[in-house]
A and B are shown apart, each in its own frame.
Chain A
Amino acid sequence: MRNISIKRIGLLLSKFFIDNRRTELIRIITGFAVVLFVSYCSLHSPVVVVSDTLAMFFGIALILIIGWSASIFTSLKNKDKAIQYLLLPATTLEKTITNILLVHVYVPVAVFVIFAGGILLGYVLPSPIADKYTADLCFNFLQDDAADKVGTFLTILFCQSTMLFASVYFKKRALLKAVAVYAVVICVEAIIVVSVFLGLLTHFNFIGEKVVSGCGDFNLQYATYELCRNILLVAGTVLFWVLSYFRLRETEV
């Protein structure tokens, strides 16, 4: 039997939407209501600061995407559910692809619909103090620098794939545990960086001098840095997909 069947992936997606339609609908409606409220208040306020509104929208979207990604795969949450899921007639690869589609396609599309719909409706709702200039600026963020958007997109993709892996690996409270792991990793990284640099500066002044003096020679172009970062983000995303696949394949109940 083939390892990938489009029909079975379709069945898995259909099963997801039939089983979770109530939860997903509640999420979309709640998200839409929050965005509508925020956009209406911001766009119709005479004292609004555009950059603050944009940052707030971006923050909400990011939290929504990451939180949603972490909670989309709940099939291993309890033993009985896991038995049913693992014995569903589909290959592990098909199940992983279905999860990837849900996390990387369905969730961003749903969030986009929530935000586009919420902002648009918030803007067109009648208000005596409607500020067209502010609203236009809010939509203009979509036309920002393309390079920045690729970076942001890939960062979100990477975060989502880590959440997908977390939900397969941890089974319960994936978001909380993943955030805790992130926090620990960031703290350890910060401690290492700070201690290494402080140590180097304090005890090995000559290295510091060399580094500083050599800055001109080894100055990395920003574009090269971006390229390296993007490659790492893509590689990291794929790595977590592969890890999710193997974790799912080796899951026992």
Chain B
Amino acid sequence: MIDLQEIKFGYSKKRVLFKDLNIRLKAGHIYGLLGKNGAGKTTLLKIMSGLCFPQCGVPTILGQNAVRRAPDVLSKIFFLGEEYFVPHLKIKDYVRSLSPFYLDFNYSQFEHYLKTFEIEDTKTYLDKLSFGQKKKVVISFALATNAQILMMDEPTNGLDIPSKSIFRQLLAASVSEEQLVIISTHQVRDLHSLIDAVVILDNGEIVLNEFTEKITQKLQFVRFNEQQCTKEDIVYQQDDLNGILAVLQNRNNLESKLDLELLFNAAMFNKEAINNIFNPKNIENHA
């Protein structure tokens, strides 16, 4: 669905952000795009959607060059930026203005999502809503487009705690096998139990691109006392109020629950070990 090969990109010739970046994302999955501030998450989404043009390499989306911004591709993708422009319109007029461009838009779904987010009145002016309320409307719209590719940049920013939970439920319920969802965030806890693949980006480089299932096969997330394991198994460890949290190499195929925050920290502090575990030669492919 999305295939970026040997992408080179920089906002200026001297400041290169991505160099030989390769990534392939498949349908039927919800990817969590994780990275520190300024790691290039938003830029990567923009390259995928055709908003930014790489200096080298071809970003392919739905089999076409993203740079071309072909309408048949654009009608099947929806990009929800961290901050989203809303005109001075009532919700119903906003939908009337934008929805005809998306052939699979479903108004009943939109109403259902709004209702779930507890936004009842579609005669309210969008720009008069709070940031969080606006976000709920736009998320509802994005989901109702039934776009094949849904890109969301920090979608939970500005949402209150119950709404974050509703967002996760709605997204999990609405995504089909034909769809691909990419959620970029630095708030890893918000994606817990939602994503089934993780992409970790650091300094313009893909540190990890794996399905969560494979991650828990190769890594173990545990709370332990130092005496309990050998040092060579430890990929990363950090102190916690109740002991030590650690990421271990899972040599004995033991089951553990994926801790995204711990995984992210492990990828940031021990990039080399993560690379070695997940086969650095093919890290960009889920062949």
Which residue in chain B gives the minimum CB-CB distance to A18?
A: B97
Residues of the B chain whose Cβ atoms lie less than 8 Å from the Cβ of A22: 88
Residues of the A chain whose Cβ atoms lie less than 8 Å from the Cβ of B69: 86-87, 91-92
Asked if residues A84 and B96 are in contact (CB atoms below 8 Å), the reply is no
Asked if residues A89 and B101 are in contact (CB atoms below 8 Å), the reply is yes
Asked if residues B71 and A89 are in contact (CB atoms below 8 Å), the reply is yes
Residues of the B chain whose Cβ atoms lie less than 8 Å from the Cβ of A195: none
Asked if residues B87 and A80 are in contact (CB atoms below 8 Å), the reply is no
Asked if residues B70 and A15 are in contact (CB atoms below 8 Å), the reply is no
Asked if residues A81 and B85 are in contact (CB atoms below 8 Å), the reply is yes
With A8-B71, A86-B69, A89-B102 in contact, is A14–B97 under 8 Å at CB?
Answer: yes
- Return A10 CB to nearest CB of chain B, in Å: 9
B224 interface contact, C-beta 8 A: no
Q: DSSP class of A's interface residues: helix, strand, loop or mixed? A: helix
Contacting B at CB under 8 A, from A1-42, are 1, 5, 8, 11, 14-15, 18-20, 22
The residue in B70, B79, B100 that gathers the most chain A C-beta atoms within 10 A of its C-beta is B100
A83 interface contact, C-beta 8 A: yes
Asked if residues A15 and B72 are in contact (CB atoms below 8 Å), the reply is no
CA distance A124 to B81 in the complex (A): 54
- Return B116 CB to nearest CB of chain A, in Å: 24
Residues of the B chain whose Cβ atoms lie less than 8 Å from the Cβ of A250: 53
Residues of the A chain whose Cβ atoms lie less than 8 Å from the Cβ of B74: 87-90
Residues of the B chain whose Cβ atoms lie less than 8 Å from the Cβ of A90: 71, 74, 101
A252 interface contact, C-beta 8 A: yes
Asked if residues A253 and B77 are in contact (CB atoms below 8 Å), the reply is no
Asked if residues A83 and B81 are in contact (CB atoms below 8 Å), the reply is yes
Which residue in chain A gives the minimum CB-CB distance to B74?
A: A89
Residues of the A chain whose Cβ atoms lie less than 8 Å from the Cβ of B52: 252-253
Which residue in chain B gives the minimum CB-CB distance to A23?
A: B88
Count of chain A to chain B residue pairs whose CB atoms are closer than 8 Å in the complex: 68
Contacting A at CB under 8 A, from B80-103, are 81, 83-85, 87-89, 93, 96-98, 100-102
B133 interface contact, C-beta 8 A: no
A152 interface contact, C-beta 8 A: no
Asked if residues A1 and B101 are in contact (CB atoms below 8 Å), the reply is no
A78 interface contact, C-beta 8 A: yes
B51 interface contact, C-beta 8 A: yes
- Return B41 CB to nearest CB of chain A, in Å: 15
Residues of the A chain whose Cβ atoms lie less than 8 Å from the Cβ of B100: 11, 14
- Return A26 CB to nearest CB of chain B, in Å: 12
Asked if residues B79 and A80 are in contact (CB atoms below 8 Å), the reply is no
B49 interface contact, C-beta 8 A: yes
Asked if residues A86 and B51 are in contact (CB atoms below 8 Å), the reply is yes
B157 interface contact, C-beta 8 A: no
Contacting B at CB under 8 A, from A69-115, are 78, 80-81, 83-84, 86-92, 94
Which residue in chain B gives the minimum CB-CB distance to A252?
A: B52
Residue in A8, A80, A91 whose CB lies within 8 Å of B81: A80
Which residue in chain B gives the minimum CB-CB distance to A80?
A: B85
Residue in A5, A14, A19, A83 whose CB lies within 8 Å of B89: A19
Which residue in chain A gives the minimum CB-CB distance to B51?
A: A253
B46 interface contact, C-beta 8 A: yes
Contacting B at CB under 8 A, from A207-253, are 250, 252-253
B75 interface contact, C-beta 8 A: yes
Residues of the A chain whose Cβ atoms lie less than 8 Å from the Cβ of B85: 78, 80-81, 83-84
Residues of the B chain whose Cβ atoms lie less than 8 Å from the Cβ of A91: 69-71
Q: Which residues of A contact B (CB under 8 A)?
A: 1, 5, 8, 11, 14-15, 18-20, 22, 78, 80-81, 83-84, 86-92, 94, 250, 252-253
21 contacts between A and B (CB under 8 A): A1-B71, A5-B71, A11-B101, A15-B98, A18-B93, A19-B87, A19-B89, A20-B87, A22-B88, A83-B51, A83-B79, A86-B69, A87-B49, A88-B74, A89-B75, A89-B102, A90-B101, A91-B69, A252-B51, A253-B46, A253-B52
Given contacts A19-B97, A83-B81, A92-B69, 18 further A-B contacts (CB under 8 A): A1-B72, A11-B100, A15-B97, A18-B93, A19-B89, A80-B84, A83-B79, A84-B84, A87-B49, A87-B51, A87-B69, A87-B79, A89-B101, A90-B71, A90-B101, A91-B71, A252-B46, A252-B51
Closest 8 CB pairs of A and B: A89-B75, A80-B85, A89-B74, A18-B97, A81-B85, A89-B71, A1-B72, A19-B87
